């Protein structure tokens, strides 16, 4: 029996992507749901800090994040 919940399956199919404003190809991406909500509690410590950093520097270092469908 497969016990994965719908919300975790949804989160695995989308990412919230913060693209660098100055360095082509540099970006942060985080698993999210279809609406762009990131489950912060599921992130490791370093990834969580990167997420908060990317959110903090929107408009200065990173563009507004976009929700993208992943290839998995």
Closest CA to 43 of 27, 28, 21, 25: 28
CA dist., res. 27 & res. 54, Å (int): 9
Per-residue pLDDT tens digits for 24-45: 999 999 999 999 999 999 999 9
pTM: 0.78
Share of the chain above pLDDT 90, in %: 75
**Residue 35: Cβ-neighbour burial (10 angstroms; 0-12, 13-18, 19+):** exposed
Q: Spell out the alpha helix ranges (H) of the chain.
A: 6-12, 45-56
Distance CA 34, CA 45 (A): 23
Q: What is the pLDDT of residue 65?
A: 98
The whole-number pLDDT of residue 3 equals: 38
């Amino acid at each position: 029996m497969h016990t994965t919940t719908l919300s975790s399956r949804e989160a695995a199919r989308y990412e919230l992507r913060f693209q660098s404003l100055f360095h082509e190809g540099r970006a942060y991406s985080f698993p999210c749901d279809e609406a762009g909500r990131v489950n912060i509690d599921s992130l490791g410590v370093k990834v969580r800090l990167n997420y908060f950093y990317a959110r903090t520097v929107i408009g200065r270092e990173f563009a507004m994040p976009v929700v993208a469908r992943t290839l998995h």
